[in-house]
Amino acid sequence: MACKHPVLVISNYDAVKQCFTKNDTVFATRPRSSQGKYLGYNYAGFGFSPYGTYRRDIRKMVMVELLSSRRLETLKHVQISEVTSIHEVH
């Protein structure tokens, strides 16, 4: 099945950093999709919410609470476990 909207998948840390810091407003607006509605709790999820006050506030919270260096280091074992699980399945 062909996709109705262009999709960008970024797996490089430096590219992700560019997208979410220097170019965040360029990538902030996303087309409405069934994924955003059902997986993003009616577009409330961080990755699915439309650009605006809510998105800016949620982004600040995510950056401080989930993506801080301290938090990433604390959760590194989870990341390793997930990658190991993926390797075992495939």
Per-residue pLDDT of 43-83, as tens digits, reads 888 778 888 898 889 889 988 988 899 999 999 999 999 99
Domain ranges of the chain: 13-89
pLDDT at 89: 87
DSSP-derived letter for residue 5 is: S
Rounded CA-CA distance 37/66 in Å is 23
DSSP-derived letter for residue 50 is: P
- Is this prediction's pTM over 0.85? no
Cα→Cα distances 62→3, 6, 9, 75, 83, Å:
29, 25, 20, 14, 22
pLDDT tens digit sequence for 5-31: 677 888 899 998 888 788 877 777 777
